Amino acid sequence: MSNPGSSAAADTVAAGADGKPPLDDVMLAMDVVDTLRRKERLVQRELDSGAREQALKARLRKIYAAQGIDVSDGVLDEGVRALEQDRFVYKPPPKSLGTALARVYVSRGTWGKWMLGGIAVVAAALVAWQLLVVAPHAALPERLEAMHAEVTELAEEPAADQRADRLLAAGEQALRDGDSAAAAAALDELEALRAQVEADYSIRIVSRPGERSGIWRVPDANPNARNYYLIVEAIGPRGEVLQVPITNEETGETEMVDIWALRVDKATFDAVAADKRDDGIIQTDLMGRKPAGRLTPEYRLSTTGAAITHW
């Protein structure tokens, strides 16, 4: 004879302590729903009426029996109801700002590296702009004044001081006008002036085998005349050939050159030519000297100081 107390206890264990179906039955119900979905045509046909529902459950029972699984009517009923109610089906959340932000966050591995790369490029551009444009522009007033002070300290003739003053005034006026390019150009000219003032070199006539030491030109203004030139170069204190700024009298342009021709009178030209014809060497090859602190050289031979840079 059965024990009513034992049966009640068994039912309680089967149902679970909280009255919910045990996990095995829930898993079976989910599998039933999955099987129903895979056989969607069968579902549509069998669920049209209650009578057909029984036939559907019979077929499902047969499917599971073939797999060696014993499925109770309760589990089958639960599975059919779950299918009708779309339980155990993932339903995406409705579109909203929250879901959009969530999708952006989840896909950060894809767009994150591109965004970081873009940020790095922008940061590098900002740093370059700061270093190459903003900082130099901000320092222009101080640099102009400092360079002017260096030139006037080195200069030993009024011409250098006056030129430095003009360049400083031009640079400051450009800054007041907001023209940083013109101010920077004035600074460049001041730097070139400083280099010119501090340079110390001798001016010597070129006297090497196979090279000319002098030339003459017929001026366009007077075809019956000749202009005579001695070809010279600047030699530094250690014997090195230097590049110096020379203004070409024919073009009016100033160029940095290491060799140029100084205009002399015919007597000086002929004397140097005779010196070279004697033994192929010009004994008196020192044309003059440009000492530090001065812009204009001190010449030993007669010259107007006019020059050409191409012949």
The mean pLDDT value for 248-265 works out to 95
- Residue 129: what pLDDT? 65
How many whole angstroms separate alpha carbon 285 and alpha carbon 224?
A: 29
Confidence of residue 38 (pLDDT cuts 50, 70, 90): low
Q: What value does the CA radius of gyration of the chain take, rounded to a whole number of Å?
A: 51
CB of 229 within 8 A of CB of 216?
yes
**Region class of 30: left (phi > 0), else alpha (psi between -120 and 50), else beta:** alpha
Q: Using DSSP, how many helices (H) and how many strands (E) does the chain show? A: 11, 10
For 126-175, how does the pLDDT look when each residue is reduced to its tens digit (9 = 90+)?
777 665 665 566 788 999 999 999 999 999 999 999 999 999 999 999 99
3-state DSSP assignment of residue 307: strand
pLDDT of 13 over the 60 cut: no
Angle at 293 between CA 291 and CA 294, to 5 degrees: 70
How many whole angstroms separate alpha carbon 45 and alpha carbon 57?
A: 13
3-state DSSP assignment of residue 50: helix
- Residue 159: what pLDDT? 92
3-state DSSP assignment of residue 203: strand
Single-letter code of the amino acid located at 33: V
- Residue 286: what pLDDT? 96
Q: Inter-axis angle of helices 135-154 and 180-198, to 10 degrees?
A: 30
Query: How crowded is residue 95: how many other Cβ atoms within 10 Å of its Cβ?
Result: 9
Confidence of residue 42 (pLDDT cuts 50, 70, 90): low
Answer with the residue of higher pLDDT: 66 or 208: 208
For residue 264, list its beta bridge partners.
228
- Residue 8: what pLDDT? 37
